[in-house]
Amino acid sequence: MLAFLGTLLLGYLALATLLIALGLALNALLGATPGFAAWDEGINDWLAAHRTTTLEHASWIGSTLAGGVVIPAVIGLFLLVFLPQRHWRLAAFVLFVVAVESATYRVTTLVVHRDRPTVHRLESLPADASFPSGHTAASLALYGGLALLLASWARTRATWLLAALVVLLVPAFVAWSRMYRGMHHLTDSLAGVLVGIGALCVTVFAARVAGATAERRDGFESGA
């Protein structure tokens, strides 16, 4: 467990440092290149100009899917499945992949201040916490992680295809929803994708380090 937590902490620190550096660099780039900033903002302008009641409802679904109520509920559901069966590593993976993502998002928004799009926003959240998209990151970390767990367990072409579709489509839907609702720019959503992928990589690597450490320890004990 110590090997897992230690590796996880180091990976989180590296990921958070990368995102903060990326966010500061993006702010500098936007300030130095008005054309790029206008292009990034223009995507939200176009989406806001083409809002419809049906699409607003769809964007609410996409946002809620990766929101502060559904994500904890999904984590709790899978913990109730894994823990009674003593699948400790699976439970730890589901819990900590979102913990790494969430912690990276939180610390980045504390350091990197970027205003949300200037369009009318459909939600009330801090106006200077646009970078990165936490919803996009959470959707990729949790649903992508669960899809990969399913594919690794089943090991069939169909489940790998399903996992690929989930990894691609769910975060894309969430990212579109957040931009449609005026909460994030495209660059914020792309940064959220990076956070989600980073959280997955960090957690998978930590799990493998913990597994290798446990095997080594068991080998020493059996040899003794």
Token reading at 187? 């660059």
- Report the CATH number of the 2-223 domain: 1.20.144
Instruction: Supply the pLDDT for residue 184.
Output: 98
Identify the CA nearest to 19 among candidates 202, 175, 195: 195
Where along the chain do its domains lie?
Answer: 2-223
Better pLDDT: 52 or 158: 52
Q: CA–CA separation, 170 vs 172, rounded Å? A: 5
Report the amino acid identity of residue 103: A
- pLDDT over 60 at 222, yes or no: no
pLDDT digits (tens, 9 = 90+) for 90-140: 899 999 999 999 999 999 999 999 999 999 999 998 899 999 999 999 999
- pLDDT over 90 at 175, yes or no: yes
pLDDT digits (tens, 9 = 90+) for 64-84: 999 989 999 999 999 999 999
- pLDDT over 90 at 47, yes or no: yes
